[in-house]
Amino acid sequence: MDDLNADLLILGAGPAGLTAAQYGARANLKVLVIEQLVPGGQALLIDKLENYPGNIGEKSGFEISQDMHRQAELFGAVFLTETVMALEKEGEVFKITLGNNETRRGRAVIAATGSKYRTLDIPGEKEFYGRGVSYCATCDGPFFKNKKIIVVGGGDAACDEAQFLSHLSEEVVLIHRRDRLRAQKALAERVLHNPSIEIRFNTRLLEIRGQSKVASVVLEKAGTGKKYEEAADGVFIFAGTIPQSALISGVEKDENGYIITDQNMETAIPGLFAAGDVRASPFRQVVVAAGEGAIAAHRAAGYIDRIKGEAYL
C-alpha cells in the first residue's frame, strides 16, 4: 500500500466534491481531488445563491465555491487539474488513469462528476453556439445588454437565469413547453411577476436562424400546430441535465444514467461512492449535493478504516 497517492480519491470539485474533500481531510485522510476545469461545478454559474443556508448576504455561487475550495485546502485536501479517462479497481485499490497517461491510486473513490446541460438538438443550436446560443446567462448575458433574449425552460435554472438576464434587458421572453413552471414556488413567483420577463407557456422552440449570428427563432404553439418566426438576439437554453456517469461502470444506474446508491452514498462496488448531481436524487440543489458529499466522505472514512483493520468496534 506504500505506492498509494491518497486514501480517498474524489472525482469532481463541485459542491459535493468540495464538501467531501473537507470532511475527508478532517477525518485525517489523505485526500486527492481531481477536477478537469475549476472547482465549483455548475454552482459557479449561479448569480445569487440565496437559498443556501446561512448565505444571508446573497453571495454568488462563484464566491461560495471559492470559500469551499479554500476551506478544503486548509484542512489538507490536495487538488489536481486533469481529466480522468478511466477508473478500475484492483483488489482493494482503485486506479485512476488521467488524460496525460499518469495514474493515481487510492483506497476509496467518491464520484462527484456532476452533470452537463442537455441540448435540444434543433436546427441552428449547434451552428450558433457561441454566436448567440448559450447555456450560461452569467457567463454570456452581458453580451446581450438591452437586446432581445429568448430563454428556454421552466425549472430552477431557467427561472434563475431569466431573473439574471432581466437585469440586463427589458426584453426577456421565457418559453416553456408546459402550462406552468416547475421551478421552486418562490423562484417561479418572482419570474411571473417580473415586468421585464414575458412568459409563453405551451410553446416550443423549433429552430434558431441567422447568418453570422442569431437573428431569429421559430416557435410553435402547442396543440395548434401554429408556427411563427420572431426576431431574437440571444437564445439561452436550460432544458435539464445529463449525468456525467459514463466513466463509472459496474454500478446500477437509472433510466437517465444517474448512479444509484444506498443511503450511505455507496454503490454496489465496495469503496466506490457517488454524490451530487451524478447521483439519482429527487432534488438537485447545492445544499443537497453538499450533504451527500459529507455523507460519502464519512462513510468512505469508515470503509478505509475497515480495510486497514483500524475500525472502531
CA gap 49, 25 in Å, rounded: 26
Task: Tell me how far apart the alpha carbons of residues 179 and 203 are, in angstroms, rounded to a whole number.
Answer: 9
Contacts of residue 32, defined as CB under 8 A and 6 or more positions apart, other chains included, come to 5, 6, 8, 9, 10, 77, 78, 79, 80, 104, 106
Which position among 136, 160, 254, 305 bears the catalytic label? 136
β 226-231/214-221 pair status = antiparallel
Angle among Cα 151, 186, 140 to the nearest 5 degrees reads 30
Q: Where are the beta strands (DSSP E) in 156-286?
A: 172-175, 197-200, 203-210, 214-221, 226-231, 234-237, 241-243, 272-274
- Decide: helix, strand or coil at residue 30: coil
Query: With DSSP H G I counted as helix, E B as strand and the rest as coil, what are the percentages for the chain, rounded to 5?
Result: 25, 30, 45
Which cell numbers hold the place of 122?
A: 434543433
> Which candidate in 67, 139, 254, 262 is catalytic?
139
> How distant, in Å, are the alpha carbons of 60, 88, 209, 252 from that of 249?
34, 9, 40, 8
Does the annotation mark 277 as catalytic? no
Q: Is 139 known to be catalytic? A: yes
Q: Which of 140, 160, 254, 305 is catalytic?
A: 140
CB 183 within 8 A of CB 189: no
| Cβ-based neighbour number of residue 223 at 10 Å | 7
Question: Catalytic residue numbers?
Answer: 136, 139-140
